[in-house]
Structure formats: structure tokens, C-alpha cells
């Protein structure tokens, strides 16, 4: 043993070292943000190997292949090639490896096929067809999500069919045959010798639980030390499998879990915080180590995180601290509108780059929903600041956005063949490759566009009927575009194609995210039509669909390699940010109904998860943390007024920049407002009802009636005084001083303005 290198232990603080050296029995490591969690897990495995434990007796489960790869490389750099023989990987990869050896014992071939999401969806469609069920009612994506959730909850088809709560839910959602679809799907997978990703867990449990040929004992004896990373993200089924490995008579009970209950943010994937909260109940002799020293963030950020998470009732008590004394206080950006929020955030980024000499790559914008990225992308492009969308696509590159844009392009230009090919059979209308090939052939022979070929290409009766239906759709869009502004046309396109309705009917996490993106696009079109900021552009006299398409092409037709630039500002959803860190973090859209999400407001448990998500967001920051919100945000084509998030009110005043004066409501339903930052909010001259006016009561006057000296009301900007009017009679531009906006007069094209005269 004297030849072993234990110098790595000197790199650990006292608590980390105890967590590494306590190798026997049940160990729980509660690792706060930036506390060296990965180092503890890595060195614990290294220490086991140095103590003489055989590498194949160690099972280490992670949630990403990247994490497993990096840990294994680090261990190998210390102990050598023995690290390669450790059973380390994701739950799915490790269980697939075992099932490749043992699957025949539960009736599957060892060379079973693994179905991806497309395979699963295709099989479900076949089953729906065989059962004569309408796929518009029994949406394949919704059914697939339902089956996945059942498997993750360890509910088999037979158990599903006898669960009254599940059956009632399906009846309420007009899908009473879901349990039969599940059974047929399960049977068809088994018959095909196939497992989907959820089956890799479910069948692993079944293998160990049924225990043919004492297979459970085999792996219990093999895995003498079990380690689980990010334990707070495990679901019910994953934990049940872990217990089958560890809990048995004569077991050494050597299990080590590492995680942080305060960072449990994946309940929508089936993760349950109860696994980590109740872990001590399953292991009474548990050794718990709390990694509370934060090596990432400065005092004010750590203090804010501690005070925030105190408001959760379900938690393991801990107090994070740091030696990074001082630093910048947390800055709050208050904006009147979401467009102004985007502009102010980018202005602050420019200041960080110049004053604090930060690189773009040291800055990140975090948002609650992907749909929020659009405004920040546009403002970063205008400022010529390179950026990248982490773990996703740029807003205008997302599939659902490109689908709607293709319809928009085709409405303006019917000769756009690329747009035509994208939407001819989307949403699906039964037009197959044979028809498309016939149209292409006719197009080539007569040197005409594919759309023109639709009118007189020789087609059989059924395809002709489907193509004629498509023609009627495009012609109706073409007609709507005549004399309508861009918003009216795009709104019509979204309704006529039923894209939004189809996504809404799917009722899955993915479909709702896509629906949010489509609504964000619609909001952007609305802003383009109504916002006076566009008067400086050549497009100012025209707000139709063609002008909007030109406008976004100016934003998107940039160097295609800009996403590859290393020094780029990072934009991402908060869920993707866990485990990452940046010098400067901007958490945007910190408003009630957005963050926390309106979908969480009815449930205390959901609110607590939203708070944990906010906790994750702010603890990504090393030195600079900025929170932003706006009073009025475009949502679903309308201006909606939101209060600042309750989470802002939970940040201690002495952590905030003293220039931040925020009125925040800790409980918007009934509690009194709280003033943060030690300053009272400025009294506004405008009527308090100005920005909360009911849209249905708002009656704009004829633009020609607006005169200099009048008091007017605008849905977005509130009350204001018309200072002057210039421009030609058909394009009058008003200069207005709005009460809510300091140090800036707005210039608005009256024909687009929608102003109500107050006197």
C-alpha cells in the first residue's frame, strides 16, 4: 500500500476528505452548488481502488455519458488503467450492458433492439390504426408520454388497467383506451424483441425482482460498492433498482449517494425529491456529509441563495458559505416591456465587457422558457455580439418556427419551392412521396414551380382531392395577406393550418415548448406591427407579411459560422444550466406567471420546485448576477401585466445593488407589496390603471384625430402627452412624452399606434 499515491487527499477540505475516506456503509453527501461534488465522487472511487477494491466491484451511476467519461479519465490519470474496469456510466448504458447478457432469462433475446422515440411513435401509430382509433384524439406523442410516465412509476400494463385514478384521468382526456394501447405496445415490443429507453429500466427491475437463476445475487455480489451521482434527479423506478443491488441479507450496504435536494428540478421527467429526502429512513446508520463551502460564488450571491431556499419546507438543512468575500451586489433591471428588457440586458452585457473586461464566453443569459430567447437574440445581433444557444437551436432555426415561416413565405411567394416542400404534408394530410414525385416531374417538364404544378398535374382521385385542399389553404392565406398587416396574416396562418391546435392536443412537455415558441413568434410579429422602434428602418411605411419576412431575414442571414465562435455569449434554459458556471449571469423574465411559471401556482410542491430552479439559476454566477423583469410582456398576442417574481422579494436587501428599487409581492394573491433595496419606488404620474386596462375596454381613436397637445393612452406605454406631429398626411409621426418613461420621448407612426384620446 505504501506504493500507492494518496496525495490527492491533500486537495480536499476536511469535510470532503471525510466523505472520501468513509468508504464503508451508507453515505450521503449533500453537495451545495460549487462545493466540489465531482471531485469528491471522483476521489472516492480513486480511494477505493487505492485501498485494493477490485474495479469491477464498483458500480458508479451517472446521468450523462459526458460526466462518466470525464470522471473515468480523471481517475485513470491517478490510478492507471484499472479505472477502465470500473462499472461507470448512465443508468441506461449500465443496465443495457447487463441486459445484453441476461435478457434471455426474462424472454427477450440478448441482442434485443433498442427503440428510439421515432420507432416508438411509429409503433403506436400502427396500434392506433389497428384499433381504428382517431390519432387526432389519441395523439401518438401524448400516448407515448403517458406510457413512459407509467413505466417510470413502475406501473405495468396490467397494473395500469386496474388503477382507477389513471383510468379516470384518461377518460377525462377523452382517451379511455390508453390502457389497452399500453398493453398492445408492451406486447408488440416483446414480440419484436425490442426495448425502448424506459424498458431498459423496467426490464432491469423485472430481471432483478423475478430473479431467474439467482441473477440478483450474482450482481449483488459483483457490485460491492454502489455510488450514485445527482441522486436528487432519480425517479421512483431507478431508486427501486438501486435498492435491489444493495439491500439484501449479508450485504455490506456500501452505498454512497451524492446530490443536493435544493437542486432537484426535474420532476417533469419523473424525478422525485422524496428519494433524497427520505434516504435516511432506508439506511438508519447513514453517515451524512454536507459540503457547504462554495468555491464558485461571492458573498452576496451565496447569501441570496441561502435566504431564498429557506422558504422551502421540503429540504435538508444546510448553510452554504464562501471565502470569496465581497464582490458586486446583485443588480436588478426593471423594464417597461419585454423589448426594453432585451435592450437593457444587452446594454448591461456591453458594460460588463468594457468595465469588467469580461469575454463573451464568460457571460450567460438564462431563461425559464426557450421562447424567451428571441428578444435577446435579436438585441445581441443588433449589437454585433456573437452568441450561441446551448443545447438547442437559435429561435428562428427551431422546427416549429421554420414550419410557420415556410407557410408565411409561401403565402407571399407561391413559387418558393423550398417552403412548398416543407409544408406540403405538414401537418400531415396524407400526401405521400408518389404525389410529390409526380408534382416534381410536372414542374421540371413545364419549367414551373411546384405550387403551379399542383393545378394541372395528372393525379389520381384521392391525391387530387388532397392537393386541391392544400391549394385552397394557400389561396386563403394569399387572400388574407392582401390588405392585412403581418400579425393578422400570421395569426390566420397559425389557425388555418391548425399547427398550434395539434401541438396543444399532444399535451406533452415538448409540444408545449413548441407551442410557446410559436406564440413567441406571434408576439414578435405583433411587436413589429405596433412598435414605433421600426420607424427608423426602410420598412417603416409597410407592416405587411412581406416586410416582416424581410425584417427577420436581416436578423438571421448572418455568417452561418457564428455559432462556432468560441468567444460567444451563451443563451440557455435554466434546466440546461445545472452544473455550469459563468463569471456573469443574467436571469431574465423574473416575473409572476413566468418565473414561477403560471402552471405551478396552484401547487405548493410545484412552487418549491420553481424556487429550486431559481436557486440553481443564481448559483451559476461567480462574480456578477443580474436579474431582470418587465411590467408588460407580449404573451399570446396580447400585452399582459405581471408583477415582479416573489423570488425577488426573498433576496435579502443587503445583497442587492442599492440602485435597485423594486416593488415585489411575496404572495401576489393577498400579501402587501414589499420594497426591496432600501429605496422607495418612485411615484408615477400616470393613472395606476393605465397599464392594467382591460384590452376589451380599450378603444383606439382614428389616427387622423390625434393632435398636438392631446393626452393619449397606449396599451404598452400608458398615458402620455403628444408633443408634436410631423410627416406627410398618410404617414404622420407623433412625438409623445409618456409618463412612465423617463429621459426618452417616443416617436410613433400614428397609423400603427392604436392610441385612445383622453381629453
Nearest to 260 by CA among 14, 43, 36, 75: 36
Q: 448-462: b or e for each residue (b if 16 or more CB lie within 10 Å)? A: bbbbbbbeebebeee
Buried/exposed 500-533: b ≥16 CB within 10 Å, e otherwise? bebbebbebeebebbbbbbbbbbbbbbbbbbbbe
Asked about 229 being catalytic, the answer comes back as yes
**Which has the closest alpha carbon to 306: 619, 665, 617, 582?**
619
Which of 22, 38, 440, 756 is labelled catalytic?
38
Q: What share of the chain is helix, strand, coil (3-state, %, to 5)?
A: 50, 15, 30
- Number of other CB atoms surrounding residue 385 within 10 Å: 17
Residues 543, 620, 646, 746: which is the catalytic one?
A: 620
Give me the catalytic one of 42, 62, 263, 272: 263
Residue 37 a catalytic site member: yes
Asked if 623 is an active-site residue, the reply is no
The answer to whether the beta carbons of residues 94 and 194 sit under 8 Å apart is no
CB count within 10 Å of CB 148 equals 18
Grid cell 416508438 in the structure block, residue: 120
CA 685 to chain CA centroid, Å, is 39
In total, the chain counts a number of residues equal to 759
Residue 235, φ and ψ in degrees, nearest 5: -100, 180
Q: Chain centroid to CA 243: how far?
A: 31
SS3 323: coil
b or e along 700-726 (b: 16 or more beta carbons within 10 Å of the residue's beta carbon)? bbebeebeeebebbbbbbbbbbbeebe
Q: Out of 17, 37, 381, 623, which one is annotated catalytic?
A: 37
Residue in 102, 230, 261, 544 annotated catalytic: 230
Owner of C-alpha cell 438571421: 556
One of 102, 170, 198, 229 is an active-site residue; which one?
Answer: 229
Specify whether 263 is catalytic.
yes
> Grid coordinates standing for 742?
423617463
Just list the catalytic residues.
37-38, 229-230, 263, 620
Amino acid at each position: 500500500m505504501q506504493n500507492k499515491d494518496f496525495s490527492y487527499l491533500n486537495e480536499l477540505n476536511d469535510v470532503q476528505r471525510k466523505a472520501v475516506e468513509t468508504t464503508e456503509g451508507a453515505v450521503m453527501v449533500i453537495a451545495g452548488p460549487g462545493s466540489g461534488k465531482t471531485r469528491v465522487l471522483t476521489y472516492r472511487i480513486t480511494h477505493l481502488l487505492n485501498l485494493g477494491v477490485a474495479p469491477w466491484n464498483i458500480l458508479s451511476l451517472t446521468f450523462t455519458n459526458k460526466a462518466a467519461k470525464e470522471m473515468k479519465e480523471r481517475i485513470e490519470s491517478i490510478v492507471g488503467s484499472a479505472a477502465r474496469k470500473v462499472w461507470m456510466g448512465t443508468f441506461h448504458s449500465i443496465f443495457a450492458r447487463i441486459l445484453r447478457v441476461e435478457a434471455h432469462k426474462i424472454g427477450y433475446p440478448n441482442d434485443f433492439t433498442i427503440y428510439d422515440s421515432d420507432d416508438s411513435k411509429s409503433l403506436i401509430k400502427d396500434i392506433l390504426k389497428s384499433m381504428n382509433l382517431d390519432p387526432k384524439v389519441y395523439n401518438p406523442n401524448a400516448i407515448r408520454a403517458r406510457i413512459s410516465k407509467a413505466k417510470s412509476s413502475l406501473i405495468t400494463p396490467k397494473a395500469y388497467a386496474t388503477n382507477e385514478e389513471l383510468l379516470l384521468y384518461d377518460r377525462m382526456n377523452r382517451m379511455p383506451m390508453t390502457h389497452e394501447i399500453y398493453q398492445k405496445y408492451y406486447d408488440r415490443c416483446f414480440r419484436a424483441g425490442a426495448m425502448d429507453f424506459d424498458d431498459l429500466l423496467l426490464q432491469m427491475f423485472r430481471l432483478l425482482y423475478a430473479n431467474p437463476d439467482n441473477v440478483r445475487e450474482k450482481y449483488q455480489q459483483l457490485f460491492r460498492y454502489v455510488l450514485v451521482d445527482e441522486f436528487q434527479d432519480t425517479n421512483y423506478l431507478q431508486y427501486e433498482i438501486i435498492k435491489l443491488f444493495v439491500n439484501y441479507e449479508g450485504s455490506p450496504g456500501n452505498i454512497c449517494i451524492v446530490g443536493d435536494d435544493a437542486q432537484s428540478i426535474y420532476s417533469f421527467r419523473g424525478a422525485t425529491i422524496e428519494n433524497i429526502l427520505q434516504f435516511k429512513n432506508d439506511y438508519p446508520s447513514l453517515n451524512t456529509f454536507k459540503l457547504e463551502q462554495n468555491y464558485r460564488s461571492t458573498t452576496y450571491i451565496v447569501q441570496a441563495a441561502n435566504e431564498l431556499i429557506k422558504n422551502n419546507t421540503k429540504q435538508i438543512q444546510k448553510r452554504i458559505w464562501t471565502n470569496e468575500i465581497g464582490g458586486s451586489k446583485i443588480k436588478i433591471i426593471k423594464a417597461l416591456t419585454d423589448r426594453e428588457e432585451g435592450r437593457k440586458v444587452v446594454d448591461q452585457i456591453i458594460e460588463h465587457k468594457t468595465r469588467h473586461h469580461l469575454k463573451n464566453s464568460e457571460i450567460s443569459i438564462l431563461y425559464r422558457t426557450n421562447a424567451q430567447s428571441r428578444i435577446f437574440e435579436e438585441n445581441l445581433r443588433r449589437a454585433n455580439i456573437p452568441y450561441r444557444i446551448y443545447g438547442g437551436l437559435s429561435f428562428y432555426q427551431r422546427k416549429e418556427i421554420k414550419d410557420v415561416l415556410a407557410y408565411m413565405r409561401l403565402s407571399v411567394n407561391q413559387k418558393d419551392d423550398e417552403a412548398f416542400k416543407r409544408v406540403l404534408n405538414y401537418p400531415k394530410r396524407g400526401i405521400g412521396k408518389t404525389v410529390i414525385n409526380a408534382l416534381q416531374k410536372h414542374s421540371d417538364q413545364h419549367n414551373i414551380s411546384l405550387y403551379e404544378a399542383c393545378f394541372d398535374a395528372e393525379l389520381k382521385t384521392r391525391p387530387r382531392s388532397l392537393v386541391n385542399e392544400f391549394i385552397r389553404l394557400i389561396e386563403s392565406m394569399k387572400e388574407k395577406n392582401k390588405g392585412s398587416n403581418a400579425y393578422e396574416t400570421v395569426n390566420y396562418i397559425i389557425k388555418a393550418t391548425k399547427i398550434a391546435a395539434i401541438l396543444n392536443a399532444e399535451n406533452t412537455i415538448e409540444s408545449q415548448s413548441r407551442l410557446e415558441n410559436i406564440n413567441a413568434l406571434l408576439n414578435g410579429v405583433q411587436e413589429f406591427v405596433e412598435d414605433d422602434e421600426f420607424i427608423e428602418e426602410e420598412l417603416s411605411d409597410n407592416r405587411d407579411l412581406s416586410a416582416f419576412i424581410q425584417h427577420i431575414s436581416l436578423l438571421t442571414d448572418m455568417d452561418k459560422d457564428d455559432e462556432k465562435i468560441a468567444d460567444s455569449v451563451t443563451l440557455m434554459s435554466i434546466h440546461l444550466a445545472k452544473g455550469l458556471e459563468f463569471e456573469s449571469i443574467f436571469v431574465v423574465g423574473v416575473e409572476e406567471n413566468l418565473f414561477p411559471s403560471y402552471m405551478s401556482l396552484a401547487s405548493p410542491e410545484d412552487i418549491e420546485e420553481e424556487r429550486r430552479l431559481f436557486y440553481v439559476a443564481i448559483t451559476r454566477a461567480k462574480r456578477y448576477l443580474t436579474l431582470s423583469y418587465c411590467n408588460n410582456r407580449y404573451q399570446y398576442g396580447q400585452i399582459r401585466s405581471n408583477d415582479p417574481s416573489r423570488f425577488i422579494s426573498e433576496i435579502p436587501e443587503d445583497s442587492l445593488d442599492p440602485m435597485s428599487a423594486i416593488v415585489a409581492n411575496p404572495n401576489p394573491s393577498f400579501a402587501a407589496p414589499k420594497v426591496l433595496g432600501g429605496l422607495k419606488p418612485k411615484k408615477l404620474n400616470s393613472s395606476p390603471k393605465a397599464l392594467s386596462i382591460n384590452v376589451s375596454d380599450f378603444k383606439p381613436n382614428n389616427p387622423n384625430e390625434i393632435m398636438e397637445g392631446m393626452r393619449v393612452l397606449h396599451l404598452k406605454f400608458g398615458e402620455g402627452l403628444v408633443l408634436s406631429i410631423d410627416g406627410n398626411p398618410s404617414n404622420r409621426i407623433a412625438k409623445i412624452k409618456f409618463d412612465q418613461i423617463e429621459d426618452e420621448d417616443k416617436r410613433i407612426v400614428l397609423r400603427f399606434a392604436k392610441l385612445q384620446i383622453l381629453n
